[in-house]
Amino acid sequence: MKILVVDDEQLVRWFLDRALKKGGHEVTTASGIGEAMERLRADRFDLLFVDLRMPEGGGTDLISQLDTLSYRMQVIVCSAYITTDLETEFTRSGICILRKPFKLDELNQALESCLASK
């Protein structure tokens, strides 16, 4: 599976990159929305991991731009700032959630859950 990880924190990108590659996935990373949109337009991805709060704009800003792409993908929001209202909105929209900080087994559960809902 081709996965794009978007997070402004280098350590989070590194951890997700290593963990997902170990699971057999092809991973590309981006540090912000602009870089992510470049990658999304240049290639097709099956899954997007995105942080909610980044200096360049939030994950919801990136998610709203996904409609401009010619393809669809699953989305996992990975953040420590997921409110009850956001969780409800994401769930209704088919977006999966991974709360920071997370452990490897929580990452794997979120990934499995998101893929099962496809």
* Residue 29: per-residue pLDDT: 98
Token pair for residue 36? Answer: 């992510």
Q: Domains of the chain: which residue ranges?
A: 2-116
**Cα–Cα distance, 21 to 26 (Å, whole number):** 6
* Residue 118: per-residue pLDDT: 65
pLDDT of 33-57, one tens digit each?
A: 999 999 999 999 999 999 999 888 8
> Largest Cα–Cα distance in the chain?
34
pLDDT of 5-34, one tens digit each?
A: 999 999 999 999 999 999 999 999 999 999
The CATH label, of 3.30.300.30, 3.40.50.2300, 3.30.460.80, 1.10.3720.10, for the domain at 2-116 is 3.40.50.2300
**pTM of the prediction?**
0.93
Are 22 and 68 in contact by the 8 Å Cβ rule? The answer is no
